[in-house]
Structures are given as structure tokens and as C-alpha cells.
Structure 1
Amino acid sequence: MDAKDVTEVAAHCSAFLDGVVEADWAAVVPGLGWSAAGTVAHVCDCLLWYSTDLAAGPVELRSVEVGVRADSPPADLVRTLEAAASVLASVVATVPEGARGWHPWGVADAAGFAAMACDEMLVHTHDAGRGLGVAFEPPAEYAAKVLARLFPEAPTDRDPVETLLWANGRVPLGELPVRTDWRWHGAPPGS
């Protein structure tokens, strides 16, 4: 995955979220325990962390604090998502070929960070929509790309959107129960 994927997924998620800014973003996402606003703020935090981690290289950088305020107006959170995705896309596009960044589950290359960012945006926009009582359908094209990159163990003969939600512990997938251990078990992205 690449910078273009990050910006396109961000645009899709932002368009959905922008359409529901008048809803009650204090509403709690069922099964997650975060508000819709807190969920979107978390996504923004992740994108900013991924930008910093990839730019800083393969050793954990502990001197930076990232924190998007969940009590911000919803329209500001949508703009923050767009801005954070733009920052990450810029880093993904400009790091030297073969560059790797630190992540708690292992160092990843630029394509791995792009995939993790797309996963965060797609799944958590779906979560925020559930909290707001409005369905968000992640684009199948991007769900399939994220699955191929981050979840190679996931079934490939199913709907990619349902499979992405299953891979992230959100829904059962046919006879497969809801995943309770959704931590990625493959090699670190880009290894």
C-alpha cells in the first residue's frame, strides 16, 4: 500500500464523517467503550504516531507525545483526520526506499505503515458509525488491500469488508466466531 491509498481512504472516511457532524459524537460505540469522538481522535493519534515512527526509523522514539483532543468539535476532528492522513501520506511518499519505522509489534516499511493506517481509518470509521447509528461500509477495494498486507491468514474466499471487520475482532465470519485475539500474528509488515 502507498501514500495514495492513505489519502484516498482518508477522503472516503472523512466524507462519511463530515456527513454526520451534527450527530451526538458523545455516543458510545457498542462493544468498544469509546465515544464516536474518542474513536476518531484515536485514529488521528495513530496516523500521527505512524508518521513520527516511520520518519524516526526503527528505534522507538519516546520523546514525542501525540494527543488529539476528543472533546474537539466533530468538524474539527474530521479536519484533523484529513490533516493527519496527509502528513502520513507525505512521510510514506518521501522516506528512502527500504526505510523502516518502529512499531510495538515490529518494525515496518512505508507500505506497512500505509496499510496499518488504512486499517485504522476503515475499521474505526465503521466503529464511529455504529456509535452514531449510521452504517459505514468500508470500500471493498481497500479492505482487500489491507487484508492482503496485514492479515495474510484471513480467508480470501469471503466478502473483503466482512473479512476485514472479522480480522479486527468486530464480527463473526460465517462459521468463524468473532476474533478475540486480533493481534496480527504474521511477520512484521514489510519484513
Structure 2
Amino acid sequence: MTLTPAEAPLASADVRRATDLCIAALRPARDADWSVPAGELEWDCWETAEHLVDDLFAYASRLAVERIGSNLPHRRTPESPGAPRNAVRADRAAGVEGLLAVLDSAAGLMCAVASVKSPEARAYHVYGDSDPEGFAAMSIVELFVHTHDLTTGLGLDAWEPPADLCARTLHRLFPHVPADTAPWPTLLWATGRGELPGRARLDEWRWYGAPR
């Protein structure tokens, strides 16, 4: 069976590509105030970036040990009421460059684990135990939508990631969304961050991590 471009499997190299694009988009704001809200989120930009770091670390950790149906018991705590509950944080004294370095490191861990795992490997996620491709797709969703949140909050130019990565991520994780709309606006809509013609904005959303 011949796959369409949108059906091509996602892998660690795609996570690396997505990470590099996101960091490049955020670096111009290294001297900005990261205590402002991240787009429409309740978290500020620093907290949102740390949440992204924690997500990538969590995905790498789960996939590394393949614990099916059970989360890893990392100790997750908020720094303040309403802040993300993280196991991993960046030292604020290191500034934004340090924060981006921690993000790059967490993504690197995810890439390294995904690159050596068998396609038959399975690991826990609340939206369905998933395989290495699924965790790669989840990582790309987190990178893309939170970079959207951050660039919006920091007043940077509008962020638009590559259509091919968006389309492949939608195919892997969001089989329930429209297939005839532009990939990036569709991914924003699917994650409750935008509208599509004829479709109301989503108040609740999820993806489906189980292998297709």
C-alpha cells in the first residue's frame, strides 16, 4: 500500500526538526518579559515553556521503560497556586537561554529514546497507550501549539509551522478532525486554539494515542 505524504510515519528526526524550528522562533524574545501570559493560557510564558519541557521529559521517560497502563511516579509540584505541576524545571538564574537549553535537552532525550525503540513498543499515556510514533506525534503537538501560545504572548511574529508536519501529526493523533482544511489552522482548532469555517471553537479536546 502506498502512503500519502500526510500518512508518512513520524519519527525522532521529525521531533528534532520541530524542536529546532520552535527554538529558532522563540530565541528572538530572549530579552523579553516571560512573566506575561502565554496567549490565552492561564500560565505565563516561563511556566508554559517549563510545562513543555516537562511534557517532553515525561514522554521520553515513559517510552524508555514501556510501562503499559501505568504512569511513572515522578514527583510533580507547582511553584505557585495554578502553576503547572512539573517534575522538571529550569533555573531562572540562567535566563531564557538556559530555559531554551533545557527545552532542547528534553527534546533530545525524547528523540534519543524514540530512535532506538521498536515500533512494537508501547507506553502509558492517559489518551491511550501509544507507540514511538505516537509519542513523536504528541511531542510535535506540544511543541507547535505551545510555541503558538508563547509567540502570541511574547508579541513575536505569527508562528506557522510546516504544513507537512502538521498534516502527519493530525493523521496520527486526530482521526476525528476535518481532512479538507489547512493543516495548521486545523491543528489549532483541534487543540482548542482557533476556529474553522462552519465549526465552533472547541471547549474540550483530546487526541487518540493508540496505534492506528
* 1:95 corresponds to 2:117: yes
Q: What is the CA–CA distance in structure 2 between the aligned matches of 1:29 and 1:70, rounded to whole Å?
A: 19
Q: Give the % identical residues.
A: 35
Distance 1:155 1:21, change over 3 A: same
The 5 A counterparts of 1:162-181 are: 162-181=185-204
- Please point out which of 132, 136, 139 is paired with 2:162: 139
For the pair shown, the structure with the greater C-alpha radius of gyration is 2
Q: What is the CA–CA distance in structure 1 between the aligned matches of 2:173 and 2:71, rounded to whole Å?
A: 23
1:190 partner letter: P
* 1:34 corresponds to 2:11: no
* 1:64 corresponds to 2:74: yes
* 1:156 corresponds to 2:162: no
2:124 partner letter: W
Q: What is the CA–CA distance in structure 2 between the aligned matches of 1:165 and 1:61, rounded to whole Å?
A: 27
2:151 partner letter: G
TM-score under structure 2 length normalisation: 0.84
Q: Show the counterpart of 2:98.
A: 76
Give unmatched runs, 5+ long, in structure 1: none
8 Å CA contact retained: 1:169, 1:178: yes
Question: RMSD over aligned Cα, in angstroms?
Answer: 1.5
1:138 partner letter: P
Q: What is the CA–CA distance in structure 2 between the aligned matches of 1:69 and 1:127, rounded to whole Å?
A: 19
What's the CA shift for 1:61?
Answer: 4.3
1:93 partner letter: S
Aligned pair count reads 189
Q: What is the CA–CA distance in structure 1 between the aligned matches of 2:62 and 2:159, rounded to whole Å?
A: 29
8 Å CA contact retained: 2:118, 2:132: no
1:27 partner letter: V
What's the CA shift for 1:30?
Answer: 3.4
Q: What is the CA–CA distance in structure 1 between the aligned matches of 2:31 and 2:176, rounded to whole Å?
A: 39
Distance 1:60 1:176, change over 3 A: same
Q: What is the CA–CA distance in structure 2 between the aligned matches of 1:172 and 1:84, rounded to whole Å?
A: 31
Give unmatched runs, 5+ long, in structure 2: 1-9, 76-86
* 1:4 corresponds to 2:13: yes
What's the CA shift for 1:63?
Answer: 3.3
What's the CA shift for 1:74?
Answer: 1.2
What's the CA shift for 1:64?
Answer: 2.6
Q: What is the CA–CA distance in structure 2 between the aligned matches of 1:122 and 1:149, rounded to whole Å?
A: 15
Q: What is the CA–CA distance in structure 1 between the aligned matches of 2:182 and 2:105, rounded to whole Å?
A: 30
Q: What is the CA–CA distance in structure 2 between the aligned matches of 1:55 and 1:163, rounded to whole Å?
A: 31
